[in-house]
Amino acid sequence: MWKNRNVWILLAGEFVAGVGLWLGIIGNLEFMQEKVPSDFLKAVILAAGLLAGVAIGPLAGRITDQMNKKTVMLGAGFVRVISVVFMLIAIQTGSVWWMVVFLVFIQMSAAFYFPALQAAIPLVVEDKDLLQLNGVYMNVSSLSRILGTAAAGIFLVIMSLSMLYVMSLLAYALLFLVTCLLRIDEQKAEPLPDEAKTLNKGFKDVFPVIKGLPIVSMTLIMTLVPLLFLGGFNLMVINISELQDSPAIKGWIYTAEGLSFMLGAFMVNRLSHKYSPYTILFVFSFMIGLSQLMLYFANVPFMSVFSFVIFGFSVGAFIPTASTIFQTRVPKEFHGRFFSFRNMLDRIVFQLVLLLTGFFLDLIGLQLMVVLFGLLSFVMTWLFYVKYRQLKANGQMEMEEATV
């Protein structure tokens, strides 16, 4: 795997893009803290971009299955570069509306880029290397987040907010150039008339595939648990910073969560040799709920950082496991539409959680909200576990867990 140039190109591209992304995210938070006083309004602004990504999801899935993955990634990368221009206009004019335009374009770009990327990964390595590559990919993503957030904190002190976004634009431009170096052999035969009609149906043909693969549908549902935390991640970090009256705690939280995420993604490959993928999913889903409950003590710096450490490690093990199940069990001819559907589902849930987080932060405060979310995570994990046991007892699981 490590002799494969495509692997190194994908990892280098993710690192560069991740740094640019987190420069932009920290810039977004800084801009909104100055212009938008309400947590709920912050959530509405962030949700506007997510809604655009959801709306274009079906089209993105069809195009990803019909076209070369590299072409889709390049097109999305170009739009991502252009989108930063709108944020520069927002800073110059002080207009939140231009920021909304920026978020819409960058989320539409992501709606194409990430399904194409997930569909491309199984094309560059063998199935036996997928879990390891997914884990390494998550580590590179996390490392870029740590360096991106640290660099953003430094840049905000020594340069203007506009220059921060210029740095983000340069990172996206570099990603575009790196993506040009990819060589993915897709060798698609011309589709028969019936197959062409199938491609044009979009998500209609994905649903029977999901329904016919219980391990896929169960994993798809399980991914809702980490989204319950991730949806309001940035808003909670801002709120913790205000609760402790400490701007520095944001950096500590992002860094601690990122490092623990890397450790979890590194350890999951070893854990997979001893435990089934569903054992990994259920255990770390429970740990995510525990990390939410621990944020009841968010006014204590150590406890707030430690809860994000537990969350980071849990998600670091959870996401590569889920991604590997999807990449190996869903037929490759459906990858584009499936990952686009998953991306759209994630965005819808993310958007709802984001709005709920902003609403609850204004209404009941952080500490009561995390107790509510933590208990909900426990209930969801338990229900999914019971359902899984029923499927296994009835012999409806179409494969042995250990073969994933």
What are 159-191's pLDDT values in tens digits? 777 888 888 888 888 888 888 887 876 654 344
Pick the more confident residue, 74 or 48: 74
The pTM of the whole model exceeds 0.75 = no
Task: Please give the CATH topology (third level) of the domain spanning 5-182+197-403.
Answer: Growth Hormone; Chain: A; (1.20.1250)
Model pLDDT for residues 259-273, shown as the tens digit of each residue: 888 788 788 878 877
Domain ranges within the chain, ordered by starting residue: 5-182+197-403
Model pLDDT for residues 102-141, shown as the tens digit of each residue: 888 888 888 788 778 777 777 777 767 766 777 677 677 7
Average pLDDT, the chain: 78
Count of other CB atoms within 10 angstroms of residue 13: 22
Model pLDDT for residues 361-404, shown as the tens digit of each residue: 888 888 899 999 999 989 888 888 887 787 777 665 544 444 44
pLDDT value for 287? 93
Model pLDDT for residues 280-294, shown as the tens digit of each residue: 888 999 999 999 999
Count of other CB atoms within 10 angstroms of residue 107: 22
Q: Which residue has tokens 């309001």? A: 232
Model pLDDT for residues 10-27, shown as the tens digit of each residue: 788 778 777 777 777 777
Count of other CB atoms within 10 angstroms of residue 34: 10
CB burial readout 240-249, b (16+ within 10 A) else e: bbebbeeeeb
| Closest to 136 measured CA to CA, from 402, 343, 323 | 323
2 pLDDT tier (thresholds 50, 70, 90): low
| Closest to 141 measured CA to CA, from 282, 319, 347 | 319
pLDDT value for 355? 78
203 pLDDT tier (thresholds 50, 70, 90): low
CB 304 within 8 A of CB 295: yes
CB 252 within 8 A of CB 149: no
Name the E strands within 197-287.
Answer: none
